[in-house]
Structure 1
């Protein structure tokens, strides 16, 4: 009788639970929860993707900014060099007077080390002249060596002149390291060997 009553009670419980829809609701809730988990995982993946994209964009933007900063720095250096060149050329513009074929201006000399100096000057056609000029230039140094007067003429194959409007004369010159250079002079000769112009710098 006890077993029969227990079986009858269990049957009544299961039958009542089925009638009440408890299992069906639990199954639907499980499905709903799984769908919600899937949705949340999708949103999480999208959020991670957006975060990764934002990080990539930030890195790209930083690289672009660094590149632009380097370019700006390069342009500033180029502008400074051009400004200096412009000032150099403006200062060396030849005068309109006189009958000279050429004008040699702005001789600059810098002693780089004992026995070596660097020079720079600008050779320009006289105003109104358009014919090409060919010739050569000669660099001469003078000063003291062992307490005595000393001079030296620098002759190199590269000291040729071939210009239509202007030509920068520049280079280096070697001399005895014990010598003390006082004067540097440049003379420009035409093809016939006649001096056309000259300039001098004192150290």
Structure 2
């Protein structure tokens, strides 16, 4: 009798996959080891926590103290800088005031020296007086005049009033006097004010008529305490002393 052929298909019972279970067990063991390590570290460090906390508080307190000190120093530095700036400005103002005073003193000394040269240490005291006149030609045909007034009779007293002058000369072969208004080419030209204690220099510009040859200058002073009239020779560019 012939042996039957083996079956083409064999039914094998499949075993369950245990890999997920193994992975879960390993993960649980790893987590347990981490928890144990953390617990062990906490147990070891727990006795040091109060000391560390106290040191941390002390460091924070020191930082706050040093920050407050730094703020104070910065405020002090700002105050000192502001004070230094104010001192510099005040010092600059004082130096400017001293320079102005020194300039005033120099001007006064120059005035005194000029006055001494005018009147001389042995000169005879005089009241209001025209010390000198000077005329210089300018561009444009005008003449620049400079007239010096002095007085040393009433020391400290103020001489005040008004000055006018007329120029005497020849025009078209005839003696002619050119008055103050014509010299300034203005009708009713105002006289020039003066006010001084010892001397004063007055200046300005006038225009001589065409064809006029100047020869003399007659200066008139009209003040509350005195009236003076003096005549001077005309010399272009030179200071001359006149006679009353």
TM-score normalised by L of structure 1: 0.63
**Counterpart position of 1:82:** 108
Select the residue among 53, 65, 69 that pairs with 1:43. 69
**Counterpart position of 1:174:** 206
Q: Using the alignment, how far apart are the partners of 1:65 and 1:46 within structure 2?
A: 28
Unaligned runs of 5+ in 1: none
Shift of 1:32: 0.4
**Counterpart position of 1:64:** 90
**Counterpart position of 1:115:** 142
**Counterpart position of 2:80:** 54
Cα distance per residue 1:101-145 (max 9 Å; x no partner): 6543244555565414232311426x489xx99997552346798
CA distance 1:135–1:45, change in 2 (3 Å): closer
**Counterpart position of 1:158:** 191
Cα distance per residue 1:51-106 (max 9 Å; x no partner): 21221122112212221232222223222221222123223337328xx7654324
Shift of 1:48: 0.9
Higher-Rg member (1/2): 2
Q: Using the alignment, how far apart are the partners of 1:8 and 1:190 within structure 2?
A: 123
Range with greater deviation from structure 2 (22-31 or 87-96): 87-96
Q: Using the alignment, how far apart are the partners of 1:161 and 1:12 within structure 2?
A: 111
Check conservation: 2:216, 2:231, Cα contact below 8 A: no
Select the residue among 166, 184, 189 that pairs with 1:140. 166
Q: Using the alignment, how far apart are the partners of 2:33 and 2:201 within structure 1?
A: 124
Say which structure is richer in strand: 1
Check conservation: 1:104, 1:123, Cα contact below 8 A: yes
Cα distance per residue 1:138-172 (max 9 Å; x no partner): 523467989x9986343655268899x76747242
TM-score normalised by L of structure 2: 0.54
Unaligned runs of 5+ in 2: 1-28, 182-188, 238-244
